[in-house]
Amino acid sequence: MDQAETNRFDELYQRYLRLLKLQGKSQKTIDAYARAVRRISEHFGCCPDQLTLEQREKYFSDLVKSHSWSTVKIDRNGLQFFWKHVLQRDWQWVNIVKAPKVRSLPDILTTTEVEQLIGATRNLRYRVFLLATYSMGLRLSETLALQVGDVDGQRKLVHIRRGKGHKDRFVPLPDLTYQALRALWCKHRNPCWFAPLRGANRGIELTLECLVAPLRSANQSFERTSLRLHESLRLSQARAFAQFRD
């Protein structure tokens, strides 16, 4: 792109980011949609508003070959937003990209398998993390964001803040999980986080990146190495609860 076209792209791109925020999109969605606009612009070496329908068809045809369908759908939605709200043009080619419907059965662990998985995790912080995620049916991000003030030990409730859809909710707190969280907190007595980082980063909460290696290690020592832990723990808890209720 020449300088004039680069300036026009920057102007449209910044307006795109502003409109995404005004539409109440999460930061994760904003990053993914913005990546879609940058990707197609870099692919053709021009501002997206210059692209023809035929070029866009060819672009998505190539994208399907090199990326997953989830990425393709995100890029489609991101570009649709760009065309509709930034360029203010009709979006008539949305049916060009239509992901195939694939229904796969999830991996669900038995209670014994969950116990084996938690037992294979040696570090106390990660063991308590898995226990809390499973026993309360939380998402990984929800367990990571858990703070000391969110736990009501008297009423045995945990306040989950800004979960999926930016919604708060209360979940029951099992006695075993409460004791495990308390034992972990007594190790460091951080006023905010249950699992703060150590050393120079003491006081900063545990992040998803910190969990990758220990969870992979625990998963490899487990029989079902193909497991997607963050999905399986939540589904396994839901099944165990349903069986208990029945």
Provide the CATH number for the domain around residue 28. Answer: 1.10.150
The two structure tokens encoding residue 93:
């080619």
Q: Is residue 106 part of a domain?
A: no
* Helix, strand, coil percentages in the chain from 3-state DSSP, rounded to 5: 65, 5, 30
Q: In this structure, is the dihedral angle defined by the CA atoms of residues 175, 162, 164 and 214, taken in order, positive or negative? A: negative
Residues 90 and 116 in one domain: no
Give the count of beta carbons closer than 10 Å to the beta carbon of residue 167. 9
Output 39 or 89, whichever has higher pLDDT.
39
Q: Is residue 226 part of a domain?
A: yes
Dihedral-angle region of residue 45 (phi above 0 means left; psi in -120 to 50 means alpha; beta otherwise): left
Q: Is residue 102 part of a domain?
A: no
Domain boundary residue among 67, 96, 125? Answer: 96
d(CA 221, CA 142): 25
Which of 206, 63, 103, 209 has its CA nearest to residue 147? 206
pLDDT tens per residue, range 92-140: 665 666 666 666 666 666 777 777 777 777 778 888 888 888 888 888 7
Provide, rounded to the nearest whole percent, the portion of the chain with pLDDT above 90: 24
Q: In this structure, is the dihedral angle defined by the CA atoms of residues 112, 114, 115 and 117, taken in order, positive or negative? A: positive
Distance of CA 62 to the CA centre of its chain: 26
- pTM score, whole prediction: 0.57
Residues 154 and 233 in one domain: yes
Domain count along the chain:
2
* Cα separation values, 193 from 74, 122, 140, 187, 206, Å: 33, 20, 15, 12, 8
Q: Is residue 177 part of a domain?
A: yes
- Which residue type does 58 have? K
What mean pLDDT do residues 184-188 have?
84
State the Cα angle at 18 between 88 and 20, rounded to 5°.
70
Residues 70 and 119 in one domain: no
Please check the confidence at residue 169 and state whether its pLDDT lies above 70.
yes
Give the count of beta carbons closer than 10 Å to the beta carbon of residue 129. 28
Q: Which helix (H) or strand (E) holds 208?
A: helix 208-220
